[in-house]
Structure 1
Amino acid sequence: MTDDLTQMDYPRYESYKDSGVDWLGEIPEEWSTEKGKWLFNKMDRSIRKDDGIVTCFRDGEVTLRSNRRTDGFTNALKEHGYQGIRKGDLVIHQMDAFAGAIGVSDSEGKSTPVYSVCVPKEPDRISPHYYMYFMRSMALRGFILSLAKGIRERSTDFRYNDFAKLDLPLPPYDTQIKITEFIEYKTTQIDQAITLKQQQIAKLEEYKQIIIQNAVTKGLNPDVPMKDSGVDWIGNIPEHWVLKRLKYILSERNERSKNGEEPLFMMSQKHGLVVRSEYHEKAEVALSNIDNKIVYKNDLVFNKLKAHLGVFFKSNINYRGLVSPDYAVYKCKAYIDDVKFLETLFRNPEYIKQFIIRATGIVEGLIRLYTSELFDLHVAVPPPKEQKEILSYIEAQSSKIDTAVNIIQQEINRLKEYKTILINQAVTGKIKVS
C-alpha cells in the first residue's frame, strides 16, 4: 500500500515549505518546528498515599494497572523513585517507546521512574494527544528504534533528553485539535471494521472445528444408523463402527538413541512436530541427546505434561528423529492406519476432558498423563477405508476454510497498514483534515 493518501480524496494544504528536518521533510506553510524541550516540561511529582500504579502499554493506553489487568505483573519490593502521574500527562516509556508505549494518561496515580512524564509548557498552544499520535507514528514506523540505537549502541532506550532534542512539527493549536479528532474518528471506524473481520474469522474457525469433530465422531453420512457406544461421554456412534480401548490400537515406542546423533524434533502448537534446528537455530539444547526417544514417521508424540492443552502430534517427517525422554511416543498396532485420525479425534473437547480427569498432578499446569491412563480410553473406530475418506474430507474442508481465513486476515492487515499510514500523513501535514 502506498504512503500517498492524496489519491483517496484527502486534500493537501495550500502550500508547503521545507521543515529543515531531514526525516520530517516538507510541512504546511503555516506550521513551524520546535524542539521537544520547548514544548513540554518533564515532571517529577511526589506520590500520594492512595495513588494506584499507572502503566503505559504498547498500544498507547496509559491507565491504572487495575483498569486493564493485574496478572503478569510483579510489584516492586520498594517503590524507589516512583513519580506522580495526572490525567492528561504525556507519558513516554523509556524502554518500550520504540514499540509504541507512548500515550496520554486517563488516570491519576504513580509510575516507575522509567517513564518520562511530560506536560505542555503552554496548555492552550500544545495538545498532548496530537504529540501522542505523532510520537506513536514515529515509533511504529521504526524511527524511534533507529534513533535510540544511534544514540546508544545495542540499546532501545528513548529518554526524555532524547525527546527534548527532537525537532517536532508545531501546527496551530486548532489544527492539532482537528488532527486529533480526525484520527480518533477514523481509527474508531477502522477498528470497528477490524473487529467485524476478526469475528468472521472466529466463526469460520468454530465452523471448522464443528466439521472436524462431527466427521471423526459421527462419520460423513448423516443418515447412517447409530448405536449406543455404551460409554456415556462418547454417546451414540455409527452402527458399523467398533469400540476399542486404546491399548488394543496403540503400543508405546520406547526406542532410545544410542549416540544422540539423530535430528532433534520439537513440538509447536502452531506447526506440529518439526525439526528443531529449522525453527530455533540458536535455542539451547542438552549437551547430549543420548537416550532421547526415537520417533518414526506416522508415530504419535505426546507431551505428557501438556496433553490436556492439545500438545500431541503425528510425525509427518520422512526420517526418524529424537524427542525428549519426557515425551511419550506411540505407534499404530491395529485398527488405525494413520494416527492423524487419532490426533484429530483427541482434539475433541470430550477427549481433552478425559485427559484432565485421568492425569495425575497437583495443579493443572503440572499434570501428567501416563500411558496406562491413556490406553484405558475408548475410541470409536471406523473401517480403514472410511478413516481415509474422513481424513481426506477434513483436509479438503479445512483447506477451504483456511483460505477464507487467510483472505480475511490479509484484509485486516491492509486495514492496520492503512490506519498507520493515515495517522502518519495526518500528523505530518501530508493531508489536510477537517
Structure 2
Amino acid sequence: MTNLSGINLNNGSAVGSKREGMDSPSKDLALMPRYEAYKDSYSDYSGLIPCEWKLIPIRAIFEERNEKNTGPKTDHILSVTRDRGVIPYDEKGAIGNNKSEDIERYKLVYENDLVINKMNVVIGSLGLSKYFGALSQVYIVLRPKTKSFNIRYYAYLFHNEPFYKSLIRYCTGIMELRESLNKEQFKQLYLPFPTFEEQTLIANFLDMKTAQIDEAIAIKEQQISLLKERKQIIIQQVVTQGLDPNVPMKDSGVDWIGKIPAHWVLKKIKHVTSKIGSGVTPTGGGSTYLDDGIPLLRSQNIHFDRIDLTDVARISNKTHEGMSNSKVKKGDVLLNITGGSIGRCYYVDSSDEMNVNQHVCIVRPNKIIKTVFLNAVLASEIGQGQIWYFQQGGGREGLNFQALKNFYIALPPEAQQVEIAEYIDELEKEFYSAIQIQLMQIEKLKEYKTTLINSAVTGKIKITPEMVEQ
C-alpha cells in the first residue's frame, strides 16, 4: 500500500527539549508544584486560590480609557477576534460588522491596553493590544491603575475560557451570543491579586509554554498539510497513469492532461454520465427547513473527504417529492459549483433519501465509469484545473452544466477502474487514519493549553523562577 514513511509523523525532534511535557500534558501538570494552602474565591471560574493571594474588584485594578479619536489622531482601525485577539481591522476578513465612516467617534487604544468586545466577550473576543489605533464604541478599553498590576497576567486571566464564559451573568440582551456586557456590574467582579512578582512569573511562564504548545500545534498542522498533499500526488498519478509505473504511454492530445496509458481512452464527462444537474432552494427558503426530515445538501455539506451531515438542512417528504429531479442516489458524485467552495466533491455511499440545492451538482456516472474513479478525477489536479479554467474563462462566479459536460477524463478499462477504485479506497482510509491521529493530538494540545492557563492564573499550580528559566 502507500508509503507514508516519507512524512515524519514523529515531530518531537523538531521542537527539541522545549517540548518537554507536550507528549503527556496531564502528567506534566500533575508534577508541577502547588501552594501550601488554598481558600475559596467565591467565583465559578477560579474556585480555590492560594491563601496568600488577595481578591480585589476590577474597578480597583483597571481604569477605563475613553479617549476619543478626535482629529482623527489615527486612521489605524483595529478589531478583536476570539482566536487572534486585537488585530488590524483589514486582517479580520469578511466577518463581523463593517467599520464606520466616522472614525472620530472611535476610542483610542494604546499598546498594552486590554480590549474587550462587550457584545462577544462570552465567546472570548478580547485581548491585549500590540498596537496604537482606534476601535468602535462596542469595545471596552482598560489599562492598569498602578504598576502593581502586570497587564500580561490579567490578559491571560481574562482570556481564560472559564473566566470569559462566566461573564454571561453580567450580560443583557435578546440573543445569547450577542448580549452586551454590563460595564458597571463587570467592574464589581473580584479577581485574584497575587504579588506583582508572581504575576510576572506566571505571565512569563505562560508566554513560554503557550509558545511551545502553539509551535507543536503548527508542526502537526504542517504534517496534515503534507499528508493531504502526498495523497493528492498519489491520486493524481493513479488517475492519469494507473497502478503500473511501466505502462506504455501516449499523448492524450489535451495539454493539461498530458500523457496517458496507451490503452486508455479520452472521454468527455457527458459521455460517461447519465445526469448532470443541480437542485433548487425550496419555495420559502430557510423557513421550510425542519428539525427532522429529508437532508437537503448544500455546499457546506460537501467536502473532499466526506459528506458532512452535522449542520444539514432538512425538508419535508412532500417538498422532497416536489424536487424529484434533484433526488440523490447512491453512487452519485456531488460537486460544489458556486462560491468559495467551488470544486469540492465527494460521492454518495448511502441509499438514504437526500436532495441538493442549486449550489450542488449531481454528477451521476453511467455503467462506463466507476463512482470512486469519477470522484477521484474530479478531485484531482486535472479535475480542479478544468474547474478553474472554465470558471475563469467565462468570467463567472460559478460553473455551468455545459462547461462541466465538456470536462475531459482519461478512462481505463472497467477492470482497471475497479482496481484503481479499490486502491483509492484503501488510500483514503490510510491517510484519513494518519490525519485523524494528528487532529486528535492537536485537540489534546489545545485542551492542555486551556487547562495550563487556567491552572496558572488561578494558582492551582505554583510557578517558580526555575520553571521560567528552563
Distance 1:182 1:235, change over 3 A: same
- Kindly state the Cα deviation for residue 59 of structure 1 after the two structures are TM-superposed: 2.4
> Of 214, 218, 223, which aligns to 2:241?
218
Which position in structure 1 is the counterpart of 2:302? 269
Which residue does the alignment assign to 2:20? none
2:359 and 2:456 map into 1 onto residues whose CA distance is: 56
Q: Deviations over 1:208-252 (max 9, x none)?
A: 111111111110111112122222221111122122233332233
C-alpha distance after superposition, 1:337-389 (max 9, x if no partner): x222112101222332223333488645x233233x33333321111111111
CA distance in 1, matches of 2:423, 2:39: 63
* Cα drift, residue 82 of structure 1: 1.7
| 1:59 alignment counterpart | 83
CA change 1:379–1:239 in 2 (3 A) is: same
The structure 2 residue matched to 1:12, chosen from 27, 31, 34, is: 34
Aligned identity (percent) is: 30
**Which secondary structure state, in structure 2, belongs to the residue aligned with residue 142 of structure 1?**
helix
Among 360, 364, 371, the alignment partner of 1:339 is 371
- Over 3 Å counting, the alpha-carbon distance change for 1:3 and 1:199 in structure 2 is closer
Gaps of 5+ in 2: 1-22, 284-292, 465-470
Q: 1:381 to 1:142 in 2, by over 3 A?
A: same
For the aligned residue pairs, the C-alpha RMSD in angstroms reads: 3.5
Aligned to 2:329: 296
> What residue in structure 2 maps to residue 241 of structure 1?
264
Q: 2:442 matched to 1:409?
A: no
1:74 aligns with 2:105: no
Provide the residue aligned with 1:315 in structure 2.
348
Q: CA separation in 1, counterparts of 2:44 and 2:272?
A: 70
Shift of residue 185, structure 1, vs aligned partner = 0.7
Contact 2:54 2:193 in 1 (8 A): yes
**Partner in structure 1 of residue 423 of structure 2:** 393
What's the secondary structure of 1:55's corresponding residue?
strand
Deviation at 1:333, TM superposition (A): 3.8
Q: Paired residue for 2:12?
A: none
In the alignment, what sits opposite 2:208?
A: 185
Amino acid in the other structure paired with 2:34: R
After the TM superposition, which of the residue ranges 421-430 and 18-27 deviates more from structure 2? 18-27
1:171 matched to which residue of 2?
A: 194
Residues 265 and 273 in structure 1, CA contact (< 8 A), matched pair in contact too? no
Give the alignment partner of residue 55 of structure 2, picking from 14, 33, 58.
Answer: 33
The match for 1:251 among 264, 274, 294 is: 274
Give the stretch that moved more between structures: 41-50 or 412-421: 41-50
Structure 1 contact 292–324 (Cα < 8 Å) conserved: no
CA distance in 1, matches of 2:341, 2:81: 32
3-state secondary structure, aligned to 1:318: coil
Counterpart Cα distance in 2 of 1:37 and 1:428? 19
Q: Is the 8 A contact 2:276 2:364 kept in 1?
A: yes
Question: How far apart, CA to CA, are the structure 1 residues paired with 2:306 and 2:164?
Answer: 35
The answer on whether the counterparts of 2:276 and 2:405 sit within 8 Å (CA) in structure 1 is: no
Amino acid at match of 1:370: F
The residue type equivalent to 1:39 in the other structure is: I
**For the residues of structure 2 that align with 1:221 and 1:65, how far apart are their CA atoms?**
53
Say whether the 8 Å CA contact 1:36–1:163 is kept in structure 2: yes
Distance 2:65 2:361 in 1: 58
- In structure 2, what is the equivalent of residue 280 of structure 1? 312
Call closer, same or farther: CA 1:105–1:275 in 2, change over 3 Å.
Answer: closer
Q: Given the two structures, how large is their TM-score scaled by the length of structure 2?
A: 0.79
Q: Is residue 367 of structure 1 aligned with residue 398 of structure 2?
A: yes
Which residue pairs with 2:13 in the alignment? none
Residues 269 and 409 in structure 2, CA contact (< 8 A), matched pair in contact too = yes
Structure 1 counterpart of 2:111: 87
Give the counterpart letter for 2:422 in structure 1.
Answer: S
Aligned CA distance change for structure 1 residues 165 and 189 (closer, same or farther; 3 Å)? same
Label 1:64 to 1:50 Cα distance change in 2 as closer, same or farther (>3 A).
farther
- The one of 420, 425, 428 equivalent to 2:458 is 428
**Aligned equivalents of 2:105, 2:83: Cα separation in 1:** 25
Letter in 2 for 1:420: T
SS at structure 1 position matched to 2:141: strand
Shift of the 339–17 alpha-carbon distance from structure 1 to 2, 3 Å rule, reads closer
Matched residue, 1:197: 220
Distance 1:378 1:322 in 2: 27
Is 1:100 the counterpart of 2:146? The answer is no
- Which secondary structure does the structure 2 equivalent of 1:414 belong to? helix
Alignment partners' CA distance in 2, 1:429 and 1:326: 52
- Give the deviation of 1:137 after TM superposition: 0.7
Distance 1:165 1:382, change over 3 A: same
Q: Give distance in 2, aligned partners of 1:330 and 1:22.
A: 54
Confirm whether residue 350 of structure 1 aligns to residue 376 of structure 2.
no
Call closer, same or farther: CA 1:22–1:388 in 2, change over 3 Å: closer
Q: Is the Cα contact below 8 Å between 2:152 and 2:203 reproduced in 1?
A: yes
What TM-score results when the alignment is normalised by the length of structure 1?
Answer: 0.85
Report if the CA contact (8 A) 1:178-1:433 is conserved: yes
Q: What SS does structure 1 have at the residue aligned with 2:322? A: coil
Task: Kindly indicate whether the alpha-carbon contact (under 8 Å) linking 2:157 and 2:163 is maintained by their aligned counterparts in 1.
Answer: no
How far apart, CA to CA, are the structure 1 residues paired with 2:62 and 2:204?
A: 21
Asked if structure 1 preserves the Cα contact closer than 8 Å seen for 2:250 and 2:259, the reply is yes
CA distance in 2: counterparts of 1:222 and 1:178, whole angstroms: 60
In structure 1, the partner of 2:17 is: none
Letter in 2 for 1:36: I
Note the residue ranges of structure 1 that are not aligned, 5 or more in a row.
none
The residue type equivalent to 2:438 in the other structure is I
Structure 2 vs 1, CA of residues 416 and 264 (structure 1 numbering), >3 Å: closer, same or farther? closer
Q: Deviation at 1:142?
A: 3.1
- Residues 39-88 of structure 1: CA deviation (Å, up to 9, x unaligned): 1111211214241212222125324334x456556222434742111112
